[in-house]
């Protein structure tokens, strides 16, 4: 797996390169961040010709390792102005790997108004002008490509939000059921739109496939790894049964469920939108409580959620989306939220950023809190069509806040703060502040240890130990994001001693390498430093590693907690 495909959209040329030696042993986030840091001028306009969009499968993608099918995408983010890596399930990562593609780099920008598509196959990459699918939603795009090029074709595409360069736009990736998964957060869909690429189709017919250096060792390590995943109560039982939405009631109980645009920590309608209620609703309507986002996933935290009549409504219906439109926007009808989720998949917009933007819009008086029907209308008729209001909301929470002169705008580095209140779950506040990605819970998921008692217990309401917890998790996560593994492998990895060594054994068996645990930690540290240095050069300094000031001044019920870290305490994060 050492082919680098390069597409230049300015002169409309493509090439296949051999990866330079310093990229050997890099995959996923390690590789996308290394390439962006090396090849993208940090001060460039993220939607201009000097930004580059990079895709890389994880180091273990395409192998039989459980949960290894994540694809990383990287660029300078038009939302944060800093570096971005976003990873996703679906079928694309494994196809990239089987085709021997270590990375796809898209650079430049067309000099005309024409749109294009790319086809990746065993011969490399082909660039074609695209007309027919412009303006269409993601579901129609996937359907059209499947009927044109075959059911098995992999797809990465943008919907209307990406075409209109909205800074909350996603890139969407086809999953094994022909539905969609999202490269969320940070507006990479707008970067793809700026390159004027509507879709990338992937055909892995006749692909060389994966070579494992030591198949026996790989098989043995893979067995141990999969057993750890199945044995841990979170990955083996909790997530498969209830999905991620089990968190609604937990965070509500802990007073960390941001409610009414981060005004309260508990939502009176929590039970109506909870994972328990959702599970029972899915079962009663003949949906599927379990569903994997990629082949080889043993956790299956996704689901198929049907409407009242038993027809498919949405899948990949996550806690963060349900929190965002539920507690944060005070919508109590799960069907309204599911409809919003489906529309966001179709127009290709980030469900966290959009939900946080709606919370600010509601506080600004654009629409009432709790009005799910109006949310659905705005998504479809304003954001989906790119009206002025749609562009304001579809460009994220910061955009709404600036336009309406709001002071209560929950963002860090202009990226919307997700589903855990940093005043009452303090570790995650450190992650929001310091992650080079902007406010991103997945970058160092302290909820595991602050709330869920995984990997020990650090009191969420006290400052003690939070910086160290966030640092250790962010280092580990940067490394895991490079393997193609789903971040949920961290639950067993934090608690079951055999899990992480088995992961390292798989890497060594795959590549004939001799990595140790220390090497993996060094990899994680190097990735974070590389990303941080890019941000510093782009103008994002320690002054941007801060929460908005209302978290310091407005206590959140029921614990009356405030954000009370000093700047020095936050900056100590980078002492490694």
Give the x-and-dash track for 516-535 against other proteins (CB under 8 A). --------------------
Residue from 460, 484, 524, 548 touching other proteins (CB under 8 A): that is 460
Nearer to other proteins, 262 or 491 (CB): 491
| CA 488 to the chain's CA centroid | 13
With respect to other proteins, which residue has the nearer C-beta, 4 or 282? Answer: 282
Residue number, 442 or 535, with CB nearest to other proteins: 442
- Return the number of other C-beta atoms located less than 10 Å from residue 127's C-beta: 17
Residue of the chain from 169, 343, 361, 454 that contacts other proteins (CB under 8 A): 454
- Between 185 and 546, name the residue whose CB sits nearer to other proteins: 185
Residue 432 binds other proteins (CB under 8 A): no
CB of 439 to other proteins, least distance (A): 14
DSSP secondary structure string for all residues of 455-507: SS---TTS-TTHHHHHHHHHHHHHHHHHHT--GGGHHHHHH-TTHHHHHHHHH
Token representation of residue 133? 């699918």
| Side-chain half-sphere CA neighbours of 409 within 13 A | 23
**Is position 263 an interface residue for other proteins (rule: CB under 8 A)?**
no
Strand ranges (E), 148-291: 154-157, 171-174, 180-183, 197-202, 288-291
Q: Tokens 């879709």 sit at which residue?
A: 199
Shortest distance, CB of residue 33 to other proteins, whole angstroms?
21
Q: If binding is defined by CB under 8 A, does position 448 make contact with other proteins? A: yes
Q: Does 355 bind other proteins (CB under 8 A)?
A: no
What is d(CA 18, CA 13) in angstroms, rounded to the nearest whole number? 17
Does residue 20 bind other proteins (CB under 8 A)? Answer: no
CB of residue 559 vs other proteins: minimum separation in angstroms? 7
Q: Which of residues 539-558 bind other proteins (CB under 8 A)?
A: 558
CA atoms within 13 A of residue 121's CA, in its CB half-sphere: 11
Q: How far is the CB of 455 from other proteins (least distance, A)?
A: 11
Interface characters, 294-313, with other proteins (x: CB under 8 A): -------x------------
CB 285 within 8 A of CB 306: yes
511 binds other proteins (CB under 8 A): no
**Residue 391 CB, nearest approach to other proteins (Å):** 30
CA distances from 470 to 207, 428, 456 (A): 40, 7, 13
CA pair distance 101, 281, nearest whole angstrom = 42
Q: Kindly list the distances between the CA atom of residue 243 and the CA atoms of 418, 421, 542, in Å, as whole numbers in the listed order.
A: 17, 21, 36
Does residue 46 touch other proteins according to CB under 8 A? no
How many chain residues touch other proteins (CB under 8 A)? Answer: 41
Q: Which two tokens stand for residue 182?
A: 């999202």
Dist CA 89 CA 489 (whole Å)? 14
From candidates 260, 380, 463, 559, binder to other proteins by CB under 8 A: 559
Rounded to an integer, what distance in angstroms lies between the CA atom of residue 433 and that of residue 111?
38
Residue 255 or 524: which CB sits closer to other proteins?
Answer: 255
Token readout for 425 is 């779950």
User: Is the peptide bond prior to 177 cis by the omega test (within 30 degrees of 0)?
Assistant: no
CB of 113 to other proteins, least distance (A): 41
The yes or no reply on residue 245 touching other proteins (CB under 8 A) is yes
Is residue 228 involved in binding other proteins (CB under 8 A)? no
Site for other proteins in 189-208 (CB under 8 A): none
Binding window for other proteins (CB under 8 A); candidates: 44-52, 88-96, 237-245, 563-571: 237-245
Closer residue to other proteins (CB): 241 or 542: 241
- Residue 461 Cβ, how far from other proteins at the closest point, in Å? 7
Whether 343 contacts 376, CB under 8 Å? yes
Please name every residue paired with 130 in a beta bridge, in sequence order, or none if there are none: 115
Separation CA 121–CA 94 (nearest Å): 13
Burial class (CB in 10 A: 0-12, 13-18, 19+), 537: middle
Residue among 108 and 265 whose Cβ is closer to other proteins: 265
In the complex, least distance from residue 244 CB atom to other proteins, rounded to whole angstroms: 3
316 forms part of the interface with other proteins (CB under 8 A):
no
State the Cα–Cα distance between residues 418 and 510, nearest whole angstrom: 36
Least distance between other proteins and beta carbon 28 (Å): 18
Per CB under 8 A, the list member of 14, 241, 387, 522 interacting with other proteins is 241
Least distance to other proteins, CB of residue 232, Å = 8
Q: Is 492 in the site for other proteins (CB under 8 A)?
A: no
Q: Under a CB-based contact definition with an 8 Å cutoff, are residues 32 and 57 in contact?
A: no
Neighbours of 150 (CB within 10 A): 11
Q: Which of 58, 189, 255, 324 binds other proteins (CB under 8 A)?
A: 255
Whole-Å CA distances, 410 to 186, 254, 323, 397: 15, 20, 14, 7
Assess 64 for contact with other proteins (CB under 8 A). no
Residue 49: φ, ψ to 5°? -70, -15
Nearest residue to 562 (alpha-carbon basis) of 461, 445, 430, 434: 461
Applying CB under 8 A, among 31, 293, 447, 500 the residue interacting with other proteins is 447
- Distance of closest approach, residue 328 Cβ to other proteins, in angstroms: 16
Token code pair at residue 399: 């955009």
Q: Does the protein bind other proteins through residue 238 (CB under 8 A)?
A: yes
| Cα 336 off chain centre by | 23
276 binds other proteins (CB under 8 A): yes
CB of 509 to other proteins, least distance (A): 28
Q: Which residues of this protein are in contact with other proteins, per CB under 8 A?
A: 233-235, 237-239, 241-247, 249-250, 253-255, 275-276, 301, 318-319, 441-442, 445, 447-448, 451-454, 457, 459-461, 487-488, 491, 558-559
């Amino acid at each position: 797996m050492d082919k680098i495909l390069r597409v230049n959209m300015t002169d409309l040329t493509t090439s296949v390169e051999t990866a330079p030696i310093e990229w050997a042993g890099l995959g996923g986030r390690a590789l996308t961040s290394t390439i962006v840091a090396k090849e993208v001028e940090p001060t460039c306009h993220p939607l201009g010709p000097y930004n580059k969009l990079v895709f890389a499968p994880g180091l273990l993608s395409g192998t039989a390792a459980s949960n290894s099918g994540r694809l990383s995408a990287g660029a300078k983010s038009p939302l944060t102005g800093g570096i971005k890596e976003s990873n996703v399930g679906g079928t694309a990562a494994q196809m990239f790997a089987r085709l021997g593609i270590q990375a796809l780099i898209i650079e430049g920008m067309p000099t005309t108004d024409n749109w294009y598509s790319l086809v990746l196959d065993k011969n490399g990459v082909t660039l074609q002008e695209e007309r027919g699918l412009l303006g269409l939603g993601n579901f129609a795009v996937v359907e059209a490509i499947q009927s044109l090029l075959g059911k098995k074709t992999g797809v990465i595409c943008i919907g209307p939000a990406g075409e209109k360069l909205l800074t909350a736009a996603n890139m969407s990736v086809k999953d094994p059921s022909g539905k969609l998964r999202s490269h969320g957060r940070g507006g990479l869909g707008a970067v793809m739109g700026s390159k004027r690429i509507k879709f990338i189709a992937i055909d892995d017919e006749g692909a060389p496939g994966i070579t494992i250096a030591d198949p026996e060792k790989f098989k043995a390590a893979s067995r141990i790894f999969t057993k750890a995943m199945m044995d841990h109560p979170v990955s083996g039982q909790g997530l498969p049964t209830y999905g991620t939405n089990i968190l609604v009631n937990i965070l509500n109980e802990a007073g960390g469920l941001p409610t009414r645009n981060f005004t309260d920590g508990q939502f009176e309608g929590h039970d109506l939108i909870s994972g328990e209620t959702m599970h029972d609703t899915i079962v009663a309507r003949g949906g599927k409580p379990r569903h994997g986002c990629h082949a080889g996933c043993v956790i299956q935290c996704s689901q198929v959620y049907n409407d009242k009549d038993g027809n498919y409504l949405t899948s990949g219906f996550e806690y963060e989306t349900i929190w965002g439109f539920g507690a944060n926007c005070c919508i109590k009808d799960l069907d309204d939220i599911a409809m919003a989720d489906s529309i966001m998949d179709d127009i290709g917009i980030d469900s966290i950023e959009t939900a946080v933007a709606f919370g600010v819009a509601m506080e600004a008086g654009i629409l009432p809190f709790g009005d799910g029907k109006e949310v659905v209308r705005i998504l479809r008729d304003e954001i989906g069509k790119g009206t002025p209001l749609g562009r304001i909301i579809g460009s994220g929470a910061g955009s709404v806040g600036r336009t309406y002169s709001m002071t209560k705008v929950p963002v860090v580095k202009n990226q919307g703060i997700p589903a855990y209140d940093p005043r009452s779950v303090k570790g995650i506040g450190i992650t929001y502040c310091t992650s080079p990605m902007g406010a991103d819970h997945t970058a160092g998921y302290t909820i595991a240890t602050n709330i869920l008692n995984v990997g020990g217990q650090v009191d969420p309401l006290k400052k003690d130990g939070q910086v160290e917890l966030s640092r250790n998790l962010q280092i580990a996560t940067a490394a895991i994001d490079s393997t193609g593994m789903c971040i949920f492998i961290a639950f067993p990895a934090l608690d079951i001693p055999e899990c992480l060594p088995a992961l390292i054994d798989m890497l060594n068996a795959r590549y004939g390498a001799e990595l140790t645990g220390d090497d993996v930690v060094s990899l994680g540290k190097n990735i974070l430093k590389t990303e941080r240095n890019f941000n510093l050069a782009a103008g994002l300094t320690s002054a941007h590693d801060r929460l908005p000031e209302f978290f310091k001044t407005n206590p959140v019920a029921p614990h009356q907690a405030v954000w009370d870290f000093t700047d020095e305490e936050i900056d100590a994060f980078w002492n490694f």
